[in-house]
Structure 1
Amino acid sequence: MKLKLRQRITRMKSFRKKPLQQSSLCRKHYCLLLWLSLSLYLFFPPSSLLRPTPSLDKTTLSLKPAFRSSALVERSPRSKLPSVRVYVYDLPSSYNRDWLSDPRCGSHLFAAEVAIHEALLTSGFRTTSPDEADFFFVPVYVSCNFSTVNGFPSLAHARPLIASSIAEIKTKYPFWNRTDGRDHMFVASHDYGACFHAMEDVAIADGIPEFLRRSILLQTFGVTSPHVCQEAEHVLIPPYIPPEFLRSPPPETARRDIFVFFRGKMEVHPKNISGRFYSKKVRTEIWNRYSNDRRFYLRRKRYDGYRSEISRSVFCLCPLGWAPWSPRLVESVALGCVPVIIADGIRLLAVDFVNGAGEGRREAGSSP
């Protein structure tokens, strides 16, 4: 089957919402953790901005939650949230704080591991008494070892670093051995979660390391079909977006003079080290078919002010990269642009838990 881009664009004009039924099956701790991750990472009440938030490192700007919605907070007050307590391990700084010496650590694509840690440290869910904890959070930053070749995070050290952190807590605390790590949480905000590789075939071959298979993973990767990289208990979290997105013009006042927008890597020929087409050639097809279409505002070069372009757009393309998920989905929603997701089988955040979270149109197909 071919990617039906033309049909997708035609159907943008008649965009309609279709409610999805709420899932009736949900394990207790899965639901609790979903609410926990969402409330901490996404839905802090705006009043929390008035209180100073201590940073993990004085030389680093304090990270705020990636996205806030006062409307959702009003519908889901804290008093109605599950009573769950989380103990945050105080690991040696070599596992987390030391990495913040590179400012990119707290602001790049995978920075959810930093944002969630900082949010937990000041959260009402946190307990300083491990004996009363329901869950244990292990703060390890594995995405801050940036390659000197391309500037992207290198994950080669992820497995040994996490294995070392587990050995550390097993030596100093009794809680891991009590459940074999089943009530311990880790953030895996990478392309293919705890498989720790950007190439899907390599990620599948490597799989999730044995020492994480019984723990709970907070990950951005999720697909609707069975996949090796989601074969551990996990909670789907949104990709990190920087707080600057909230400083853009409010979506309701923005002038929408761009019909379809996309800015990002669109290869004409594969130029990466793998020799493969990025995004399974989807982005190449978008460029080849629509770069001369006046309805499409397509740009291949980086631009720091691209959030202003999203604010001006009606539809924002969210094609897959190496993995199906993309921060563009969250960026688009935050700035009032309708996201057009081009990634087969992607699992959307909270679709089984929140009414309306999966509203939209789905069209089956496969990448060219």
Structure 2
Amino acid sequence: MKLQSHNHNNHGANKTTSFYKWLLCLSLSLYFSTSYLITTSPPPPSPSQPPHNTKPSPQRTLFETPWSSSLKNLRIFVYDLPSKFNTDWLTNQRCSTHLFASEVAIHRALLTSHVRTFDPYDADFFFVPVYVSCNFSTVNGFPAIGHARSLISSAVKLISDRFPFWNRSHGRDHVFVASHDFGSCFHTLEDVAIADGVPEIMRKSIVLQTFGVTYKHPCQEVENVVIPPYVSPENLRTTVDKLPANWQRDIWVFFRGKMEVHPKNVSGRYYSKKVRTMIWRKFSGDRRFYLQRHRFAGYQSEIARSVFCLCPLGWAPWSPRLVESVALGCVPVIIADGIRLPFSSAVRWPEISLTVAERDVGKLAEILERVAATNLSDIQRNLWDPMTKKALLFNERVHEGDATWQVLRSLSEKLDRSLRSSRVSRQLDFAT
């Protein structure tokens, strides 16, 4: 396996030792054998010295790991809502696989998780499974999320009429997922989202959302946890399985996606704040940059062949390319000023990625050349940590360290919002 094979990456290539190649192969093998699939078969013994030029082993094993003490006492009650709020939406098959599908994945994982309780009086938090993003990105590319606010309001009315838990806390211990562009604002255009703000009914709740920025923004003026966009572990596994034996990273800089020649669309808004247009205009003629404007179902194989993967903002700052790049070992080049990245306590983003200011996008070539000549090997070594990849992927069942587990850990840090935990704490104080 060759990570630094491009002609413009000579300094980095000279640093690639045979041991490092073996280390990366082993990391991939461990990652895909412990994160993707659940089977009952025991894991095979790890090879002591895998060949240098073999692709990752397509193992089908996932090691069960004990839950850490920080989560073993966490309790979550999952409301059993009528199917119109969630599973009816799954008639659209893309609902459970597209980049907004974390709302589906988290719901499914919680249903079989260790933290689920069937006794609502024993719960710290209450999960409200409303799928508002299922039809967000339709096949024709047009967003459809106008139903979100009314659907959530209807769900809240239902649970507040039937149960006492919403009313007793005014929703402080209730959890929703908003896995689309501007999260809890529930609109596809930022200016309208800002004007609408977070729905009043949810302002006291906890929202798991892909949107997050480091500056003040109306769409995060609610207790929130930034989560990664959904990327299918099965698709990633298939990509790795199909890699040829002589797999090489022969693409220096990669991006495939929407790059408008004229960034101002029919709404009068500038897509990607002109960043993607600048990338296309500046580097489409540069042979070091592999830039494609059209869809390709197998584009993950291109990521696996690339050293640097551009992750520019679109309408919103986040992108599924962040997860795909990390999972496939391509250095993410984040171009989205002020983005707040998911699970920063588990994912050492400064050590596995590059951040380029939007105003410096025209200097990408010089910036990446400098990195290739200095610390690229260090970044790649950090990038191949299997636990880093695991933290960004949602599995069918919760396993320690994966994305749903990271959500639960984040919730465990908000137990001051739990009436159950507050009662237990008071009882302990009284006893002492």
Asked if these proteins are the same fold (TM beyond 0.5), I'd say: yes
- After TM superposition, the structure 1 = structure 2 runs for residues 128-139 of structure 1, keeping only pairs within 5 Å, are 128-139=118-129
CA distance in 1, matches of 2:36, 2:327: 19
**Alignment partner, residue 32 of structure 1:** none
Does structure 1 residue 343 correspond to structure 2 residue 336?
A: yes
Q: Distance in 1 between matches of 2:194 and 2:244?
A: 43
Residue 326 of structure 1 aligns to a residue in which SS?
Answer: coil
- Which residue of 272, 290, 293 corresponds with 1:279? 272
Secondary structure of the corresponding residue to residue 79 of structure 1: coil
What's 1:50 paired with?
Answer: 39
Q: Which amino acid aligns with 2:190?
A: E
Identify unmatched segments of 5+ residues in structure 1.
1-9, 15-41, 52-69
2:238 equivalent to 1:247:
yes
Question: Which deviates more from structure 2 when the two are superposed, residues 106-115 or residues 228-237?
Answer: 106-115
- Provide runs of 4+ in structure 1 moved above 3 Å: 42-48, 145-153, 250-254, 270-273, 360-368
- Written as runs of structure 1 = structure 2, the 5 A alignment for 1:134-283 is 134-145=124-135, 150-242=140-232, 243-249=234-240, 254-270=247-263, 272-283=265-276
Contact 1:246 1:334 in 2 (8 A): no
The TM-score with structure 1 as length reference comes to 0.77
Aligned-partner SS, 1:245? helix
Are the counterparts in 2 of residues 216 and 232 from structure 1 also a CA contact under 8 Å?
yes
1:80 to 47, 51, 69: 69
CA RMSD of aligned residues (A): 3.1
Q: 2:126 corresponds to which letter in structure 1? A: F
Match of 1:294 in 2: 287
Hey, what's the Cα distance between the residues in 2 that align with 1:97 and 1:189? Answer: 16
C-alpha spacing 1:106/1:44, structure 2 compared with 1 (3 Å): farther
Aligned partner of 1:286: which letter? I
Secondary structure at the residue paired with 1:136? strand
What is the deviation of 1:276? 2.5
Residue 366 of structure 1 and its aligned partner are, at CA, apart by 4.3
Cα contact 2:174–2:206 (8 A) shared by 1? yes
Match of residue 67 from structure 1: none
Q: Identical aligned pairs, as a percentage?
A: 62
Give the match's secondary structure for 1:249: helix
* Corresponding residue number in structure 2 for 1:91: 81
Are residues 304 and 232 of structure 1, via their aligned partners in 2, closer, same or farther at CA, if it must alter by over 3 Å?
same
For residue 5 of structure 1, what is the aligned residue in structure 2? none
Matched residues in 1 for 2:37 and 2:168: separation?
35
Q: Is the 8 A contact 2:272 2:312 kept in 1?
A: yes
- 1:54 is matched with which residue? none
Residues of 2 paired with 1:47 and 1:325: CA distance?
23
Aligned to 2:403: none
Q: Is the Cα–Cα contact under 8 Å of residues 261 and 298 in structure 1 kept in the other structure?
A: yes
- Comparing 143-152 and 228-237, the one that deviates more: 143-152
Q: AA paired with 1:345?
A: G
Output the CA distance in 2 between the equivalents of 1:93 and 1:44.
34
Q: Distance in 2 between matches of 1:171 and 1:273?
A: 44
CA contact (8 A) 1:252 1:336 kept: no
- Contact in 2 for aligned 1:86/1:126 (Cα 8 Å): yes
Corresponding position of 2:300: 307
Deviations 1:317-344 (A, max 9, x none): 0000000000100000011100000000
| Aligned partners of 2:335 and 2:356 also within 8 Å | no
Which of 320, 326, 329 aligns to 2:322? It is: 329
Give SS of 1:208's match.
Answer: coil
The secondary structure found in structure 2 opposite 1:308 is helix
**Does structure 1 conserve the Cα–Cα contact (< 8 Å) formed by 2:75 and 2:124?**
yes
Greater fraction of residues in helix: 2
Aligned mates of 1:73, 1:224 — CA distance in 2: 36
Greater radius of gyration (CA): 2
Whole-angstrom CA distance in 1 between matches of 2:192 and 2:185: 9
Q: Residue 280 of structure 1 contacts residue 367 of structure 1 at CA under 8 Å; is this kept in 2?
A: no
- C-alpha contact 1:265 1:300 (8 A) present in aligned 2: yes
Q: Secondary structure at the match of 1:80?
A: coil
Matched with 1:123 is: 113
The total of aligned residue pairs comes to: 312
Cα 1:255–1:143 shift into 2, 3 Å = same
